[in-house]
Amino acid sequence: MPRDIIILIAAIVGGIILITVILFAMIKTAKGNEALVVSGVGATDKYGNPKIKRAGGRVVIPFIQKAKYFDLCVRTAKVEGDVTKTQTGVPIQIDWAVAYNPDVSSNESLQRAVCNFLDKNDKELERVILDVVSGGVRAVIAKMTPEEVMNGKD
């Protein structure tokens, strides 16, 4: 009889430990410089967008919900040797850089950033940013004379 009680107690303790481990595995935490993006059943808003938790934790149900992390840090991208024409039609070679990060001023802007960039790797993200910004850089240079470009390079 005492052996059966020991086995029963061991099974109960083992079950409690297993449940505790499973519960801790379900808790996902985002650091201060990232957002936790949870999608799946019960983790979307009325429009079907995933729920986003900035710098905090959330319980994620395995097999039903999926959690990903979205980096909110400032990143930089640079271009060297970009050839563009000035206002006078003189081609010049310029080096330029851009610093960028997701707009976290509102939940809507963060939601847009997550929807557009969550599954992109660093190279794809940099390519998109450079494609967007390069047109603006060329437009600014096209309005300047070569002298203005040289004087305003600070």
The pLDDT tens digits along the chain (154 residues) read 688 899 999 999 999 999 999 999 999 999 989 999 999 888 888 888 899 998 889 999 988 999 999 999 999 999 998 899 999 999 999 999 999 999 988 889 999 999 999 999 999 999 999 999 999 999 999 999 888 888 876 5
For 6, counting Cβ atoms within 10 Å of its Cβ (0-12 exposed, 13-18 middle, 19+ buried), the class is exposed
pTM: 0.76
Residue 2 to residues 6, 7, 8, 15, 88, Cα–Cα distance (Å):
6, 9, 10, 20, 97
Q: Quickly tell me which residue has 């310029």 as its tokens.
A: 94
| Residue pair 52/110 in contact by the 8 Å Cβ criterion | yes
Bridge partners for 97 per DSSP:
78
Q: Quickly tell me which residue has 């006078």 as its tokens.
A: 88
